[in-house]
Amino acid sequence: MSETLLKVRGLKIGATVFPPGEKPHDITIVHGVSFDLAPGKVLGLIGESGAGKSTIGLAAMGYGRGGVKITGGEVFVNGRDILKGGIKGLRELRGAEVTYVAQSAAAAFNPAKKLMEQVTEAAISHGKFSKSDAEKRAVALFAKLGLPDPENIGERYPHQVSGGQLQRVMTALALCPEPDLVVFDEPTTALDVTTQIDVLAAIKEAIRDTGVAALYITHDLAVVAQVSDHIMVLRGGNTVEYGDTDQIINAPVDDYTRALVTVRSIDHEEKSPSDNPVLQVKNITARYKGTNFDVLSDINVELHAGQTLAVVGESGSGKSTLARVITGLLPPSHGSIEFGGHTLTPDLPNRPMEDLRELQMIYQMADVAMNPRQTVGTIIGRPLELYFGLRGEEKRKRIRELLEEIEMGDGFVDRYPAELSGGQKQRVCIARCLAAKPKLIICDEVTSALDPLVADGILKLLLDLQKIEDVSYLFITHDLATVRAIADSIAVMYQGRVVRYGPKSEVLAPPFDDYTDLLLSSVPEMELGWLEKVISSRKMESAGN
């Protein structure tokens, strides 16, 4: 075996794009990237969306997603230039020498086939193992990755196991054919923070024990710091910085890397509660039609004028359901909601227009929350017409003001959503909310789909607007860093209940209840060896009990 397992030289990747209203043309996504990976080592590829990190990872398997093509450079695996071997050579490489772990295991498994069949398929079809040997190896990997009932879990179908378990099975799938290199493409991004830490630990242990090399692709620097030996920071298809993990984290040279390391720099002074609550959620219990369990049980929270209440929890904790109850989309089975001094009608269709105006909402997916065939001006102008009857010049003036407020010029009035970046789309959604002059805006995971630096800009904007407009936010998120940045008070939700509630300074200070402790300690920190520290302290605790 040669010294370097994977050698990439001057890799150029292009794609054909079809922008609306323009002729299709070729663009370059990756502009000549080079790196080496020695056997058994882990290289982290990090960058924001569009940086080309996944594209580079897949290029190590000679694969281009959709219309993506490798246009130049060389990729050597075990000393062989894989781009010169044709499709036949690539098929011998894929699933045998190099394997892949996808971001969403839930989508990456064939729903019609049992897990065992899918895990062993590559190893068998490449003739690496016989069927029974491959199955034995799979069971051993299931056990190593900490899956429950490793002997039988392979008999299940993908929908019968949880997301975190599926991601481990995917790792087993990648390791089963004894590859030399595994490409991990955001393997923990879709998981809850408390699940992520376990999967991350399992992946790291599996990499160490099998001696496989890995390309670890993620947008989260704190995560990649835990698993990789080297890190390459990418931006717009170019290498920004490439070095030791220790150097990148502790002594970044480039400004962009420094910005990534120190992201979430927002400092927000907590406001003390006034005696003027905008929203009071009283004893709310709710369940979905046709089910027999409560998704929310006995929720009591309060939000004051000009302040932010952050509702944190994992997926399934009921935080988005709470938003549905407050907006009237899901009438509660018990309890009431006081808003601006009066009780809200439980169901949306019967609410007076004035209540609808004063309670607005911003969503996670800005691009599907806007009509793609309307211009920014029409989108923002609609609530102005609906609630205030503004027309003509008056309306145009107000639209310009709103665009000013969200720090976008009036040059955007005639643009369509497809012509905006992710952050700009979310800003337009914010402007649409503000147009209604609401008292309360419910923000449902509004920064989760955005890159960290862009998300930071949105949070700053929201805080600035709060000062100007005196609006309150009910901020739903799973991200504790976001909570720290903007909340005045916090409600921690778990399995449909509020397990901890109070001003930010109290909620985030010990002594913690068990769940909040688990949640807080699971958030990856930008520090080498953090993962081992947390895992070993948890082991000690459980041994102590």
Partner 1 sequence: MHPVLTLVAQRLALGILLLFAASALIFVGTQILPGDVAQSILGQSATPESLANLRKELGLNEPALSRYFSWLGNALQGDLGTALTNGRDIAESLGSRLGNTMFLAGTAAVISVPLAIFLGLLAVRYKDRWPDKLISAVTLTSISIPEFLIGYVLMYFISVKLGWFSSVAMINDGMSFFEKLNAIALPVMVLVMVVLAHMMRMTRAAILNVMQSAYIETAELKGLSGFQVIAKHAFPNAISPIVNVVMLNLAYLVVGVVVVEVVFVYPGMGQYLVDHVSKRDVPVVQACGLIFAAVYIGLNMLADIISILANPRLRHPK
Q: Which residues bind partner 1 (CB under 8 A)?
A: 61, 63, 65, 90-96, 99-100, 102, 104, 107-113, 118, 121-122, 125-126, 156-157, 159-160, 173
Residue with tokens 């997926």: 315
Which residue, 112 or 353, is less far from partner 1 as judged by CB? 112
DSSP-derived letter for residue 11 is E
Tokens of 175: 């390791």
Which residue, 71 or 104, is less far from partner 1 as judged by CB? 104
Q: Which helix (H) or strand (E) holds 6?
A: strand 6-17
CA distance 513 to 296: 20
Going by C-alpha positions, the residue among 252, 255, 321 that lies closest to residue 293 is 321
Which residue, 174 or 278, is less far from partner 1 as judged by CB? 174
CA distance 254 to 245: 14
In a 3-state reduction of DSSP, which class is residue 7?
strand
Which residue, 183 or 493, is less far from partner 1 as judged by CB? 183
Which residue, 58 or 310, is less far from partner 1 as judged by CB? 58
Q: Is the dihedral of CA 6, 12, 18, 20 positive or negative?
A: positive
Shortest distance, CB of residue 273 to partner 1, whole angstroms?
A: 43
Which residue, 137 or 230, is less far from partner 1 as judged by CB? 137
Which residue, 80 or 126, is less far from partner 1 as judged by CB? 126
Which residue, 178 or 254, is less far from partner 1 as judged by CB? 178
Shortest distance, CB of residue 161 to partner 1, whole angstroms?
A: 9
Which residue, 118 or 239, is less far from partner 1 as judged by CB? 118
Phi and psi at residue 537, in whole multiples of 5°? -70, -35
Shortest distance, CB of residue 271 to partner 1, whole angstroms?
A: 44
Reduce the secondary structure of 446-511 to three states and give it as a string.
CCCCCCHHHHHHHHHHHHHHHHHHCCEEEEEECCHHHHHHHCCEEEEEECCEEEEEEEHHHHCCCC
In a 3-state reduction of DSSP, which class is residue 50?
coil
Say if CB 309 and CB 473 are below 8 A apart: yes
Beta bridge partners of 308: 473
CA distance 53 to 47: 7
Q: What value, to the nearest 5°, has the Cα angle with vertex 40 and ends 38 and 43? A: 65
For the chain, first and last CA: distance in Å?
A: 48
Residue with tokens 């089963």: 176
Which residue, 109 or 501, is less far from partner 1 as judged by CB? 109
Which residue, 52 or 252, is less far from partner 1 as judged by CB? 52
Q: Which helix (H) or strand (E) holds 526?
A: none
Tokens of 96: 């045998």
In a 3-state reduction of DSSP, which class is residue 396?
helix
Shortest distance, CB of residue 411 to partner 1, whole angstroms?
A: 36
Shortest distance, CB of residue 174 to partner 1, whole angstroms?
A: 9
Q: Where do the DSSP E strands lie in 340-403?
A: 342-343, 359-362
Residue with tokens 């929908």: 159
Say if CB 366 and CB 406 are below 8 A apart: no
Shortest distance, CB of residue 110 to partner 1, whole angstroms?
A: 4
Shortest distance, CB of residue 107 to partner 1, whole angstroms?
A: 4
Which residue, 127 or 392, is less far from partner 1 as judged by CB? 127
Shortest distance, CB of residue 103 to partner 1, whole angstroms?
A: 9
Shortest distance, CB of residue 315 to partner 1, whole angstroms?
A: 16
Shortest distance, CB of residue 104 to partner 1, whole angstroms?
A: 6
Phi and psi at residue 346, in whole multiples of 5°? -60, -40
Number of H helices, E strands in the chain: 20, 20
CA distance 18 to 418: 12
* Single-letter amino acid code for the residue at 532: E
Shortest distance, CB of residue 118 to partner 1, whole angstroms?
A: 8
